[in-house]
Structure 1
Amino acid sequence: MDSDLFSRRRAERFAQLLDEANGGRRHHVRSRADDELAALVVVGQRLVADRPAVEVDANFRTGLRAMLVAAAERQSADTLAKPDTAPAGAGVRGSLLPAVTGRRARARGAILVGVAAGAVALSGISAASENALPGDALYGMKRSTERAQLALASSDLSRGQLFLDFARTRFDEAATVRGDRARLSAVLDDMDADTRQGVRLLATVAAQRSDPAGLNAIDAFLVSQQQAVRGLLHRADHVERDRAHRSLALLDDASSRAAGIRAAIACGLPAPSASDSLGPTPDVCPDER
């Protein structure tokens, strides 16, 4: 399927869902992207309900508006300037083409305006919630923004890399929680969940494509993450140290899984059919049995 067409349909469907959520006319259709776009709709509703007390830089607002208005004008001009290439005798369908094209141009302009408004609002949300910690008022918005990023990711490869980025963020949050066993455990649980999701997606892509690019991303993540999590072992609280050991064990398992898939790709084994929470479980190369 044409990626531009898919992206346009996805954007148009998001606009419909957002309109419905805000009390607009209901569109009696569904698409396969509805579940993923639902996270974006939730973010949109929360942006309307919980406006942060953050001022967006005036220069940023002005520059963004000018850029998007110019883009909308170019889109409309380019679309309307295209000659009518309908063959002679096309009849009613041919006569309707300019009208349909005009509606599409206006729809694109509306989407761009929506993107402009969302970008301005999200810039304020990002500034306010970027450093939010578990328990802070804006922490839920921070996590909603992460889910929106996942929904917008264009592939499993980029989605897997996002999950690993979020696992790093969860560690940064855990490092600030001192003397609170419950909060530390909850943040490390989320960190481990993000790690599993990211490793599973990247390992699956690598095994299916026989391409180690996803494994390289896993290895780069593990080098820094293992070193960082080991720092939690120096805490005086033995419960916190035991919990950190569980996260380290998961990272060790992820390292072994990536190494196994890399070896299977090198010796030409087909993509494994079995899998678990860390992705495909590769067979052992014949010369290693």
Structure 2
Amino acid sequence: MDNALFSRRRAERFAQLVDEANGGRRHHLRSRVDDQLAPLVALGRQLGSNPPAAEVDQEFRAGLRAMLLATAAREGIGAPAAPQPAEKTSAGRGSLLPAVTARRARARGAILVGIAAGAIAVSGISAASENAVPGDALYGMKRGTERAQLALTSSDISRGQLFLDFARTRLVEASALRGNRAGYSAVLDDMDADTRQGVRLLTGAAAQRSDPAALDTVDTFVTRQRRALDPLTDRGSRADQERTAQSLALLTSIAERADALRAAIACGRPASTTSDFLGPTPGTCP
């Protein structure tokens, strides 16, 4: 049994049902998969009539457009049909080819529309998850979106800035979890991990390029993060206060590393051959 054949027929029937639902010509036939496809057709109409109100990120929009164009090019949608040799094409088959080609194009087009609608719906859910905190139903979607952002970022500086942005987000979440000892400590653990990863990438870029510009981002982060973290030092249980102090100590170490690395770059010795959890250790100036 050819599974590809049945999958193609299913897609073509789905395209027909979508056409009919949008006011197109009705096809006088009924398939065994109509009952299975009916919910998908209804979902497609609902998405088309009630698009998500959330604003789609420009980077996501560009990535989705590139994916759809690549899929269209791979599937041959919009490309002219290859000419058939006259001696091998019968009159009867020639009359059928345009209809088959058009039907397949509609099926593929419907699939692409479904992909686009689903992706936009997912982007709307992603936007709704921005304010989620650990324990909320959408928190997993929020963290998954962050991982997707990292996967789409290529340079170390951009990735480092993203990690620091995530660390700021973790601090906002921790502020909402005061009194939940396990949750508060776990979020600060994630915050410090994102902080170390971001600082390591940015200090590494500064040492490699002998350019302190990336360290300005680190300094700005430390200042703002410390300002937001200080009010939490006298709140919550004693264990929460001790855990907050650990994160503040990490910020102090980062500020000292950035100052030392900036001085090493100024004297022409940006880094030694060793590194630690904050990135390359500064070289020794004369």
TM class, shorter-length = 0.5 to 0.7
Contact 1:207-1:272 at 8 Å conserved across structures: no
Task: Give distance in 1, aligned partners of 2:54 and 2:141.
Answer: 25
> More deviation in 247-256 or 269-278?
269-278
> For residue 52 of structure 2, what is the aligned residue in structure 1?
57
> For residue 222 of structure 1, what is the aligned residue in structure 2?
222
Aligned partner letter, 2:198? G
Aligned partner letter, 2:186? A
> For residue 139 of structure 2, what is the aligned residue in structure 1?
139
User: Does residue 1:190 correspond to 2:185, yes or no?
Assistant: no
> For residue 105 of structure 1, what is the aligned residue in structure 2?
none
What TM-score do you get using the length of structure 2 for normalisation? 0.61
Show CA shifts across 1:154-196 (max 9, x none): 2111000000000000000000012111110000000000000
Task: Give distance in 1, aligned partners of 2:216 and 2:115.
Answer: 34
> For residue 202 of structure 1, what is the aligned residue in structure 2?
202
Shift of 1:68: 4.7
Aligned partner letter, 1:57? P
Task: Give distance in 2, aligned partners of 1:59 and 1:151.
Answer: 23
Task: Give distance in 1, aligned partners of 2:283 and 2:170.
Answer: 32
Instruction: Report SS of the residue matched to 1:178.
Output: coil
Instruction: Report SS of the residue matched to 1:198.
Output: helix
Task: Give distance in 2, aligned partners of 1:124 and 1:164.
Answer: 24
1:92-131 equivalence runs, <5 A: 116-117=116-117, 119-131=119-131
Structure 1, unaligned runs of 5 or more: 1-50, 81-108
> For residue 16 of structure 2, what is the aligned residue in structure 1?
none
Call closer, same or farther: CA 1:248–1:58 in 2, change over 3 Å.
closer
What TM-score do you get using the length of structure 1 for normalisation? 0.61
> More deviation in 275-284 or 120-129?
120-129
Task: Give distance in 2, aligned partners of 1:160 and 1:268.
Answer: 24
Task: Give distance in 2, aligned partners of 1:59 and 1:220.
Answer: 30
Call closer, same or farther: CA 1:211–1:115 in 2, change over 3 Å.
farther
Contact 2:171-2:187 at 8 Å conserved across structures: yes
> For residue 167 of structure 2, what is the aligned residue in structure 1?
167
Aligned partner letter, 2:202? L
Task: Give distance in 2, aligned partners of 1:206 and 1:184.
Answer: 33
Task: Give distance in 2, aligned partners of 1:272 and 1:158.
Answer: 24
Show CA shifts across 1:88-125 (max 9, x none): xxxxxxxxxxxxxxxxxxxxx9xx97984564133212
Contact 2:55-2:124 at 8 Å conserved across structures: no
Aligned partner letter, 1:262? R
> For residue 279 of structure 1, what is the aligned residue in structure 2?
279
1:67-106 equivalence runs, <5 A: 68=65, 72=69
Contact 2:232-2:241 at 8 Å conserved across structures: yes
Instruction: Report SS of the residue matched to 2:131.
Output: coil
Show CA shifts across 1:110-164 (max 9, x none): xx97984564133212232111110111111111110110111021110000000
User: Matched residue pairs, number?
Assistant: 200
Task: Give distance in 2, aligned partners of 1:124 and 1:59.
Answer: 5
Task: Give distance in 2, aligned partners of 1:198 and 1:228.
Answer: 18
Contact 1:56-1:123 at 8 Å conserved across structures: no
Contact 1:56-1:124 at 8 Å conserved across structures: no
Shift of 1:238: 1.5
Contact 1:192-1:247 at 8 Å conserved across structures: yes
Task: Give distance in 1, aligned partners of 2:202 and 2:213.
Answer: 8
Task: Give distance in 2, aligned partners of 1:72 and 1:170.
Answer: 36
Aligned partner letter, 2:172? D
Instruction: Report SS of the residue matched to 1:234.
Output: coil
Instruction: Report SS of the residue matched to 1:130.
Output: helix
Call closer, same or farther: CA 1:204–1:118 in 2, change over 3 Å.
farther
Shift of 1:273: 1.6
Shift of 1:72: 4.8
Contact 1:167-1:192 at 8 Å conserved across structures: yes
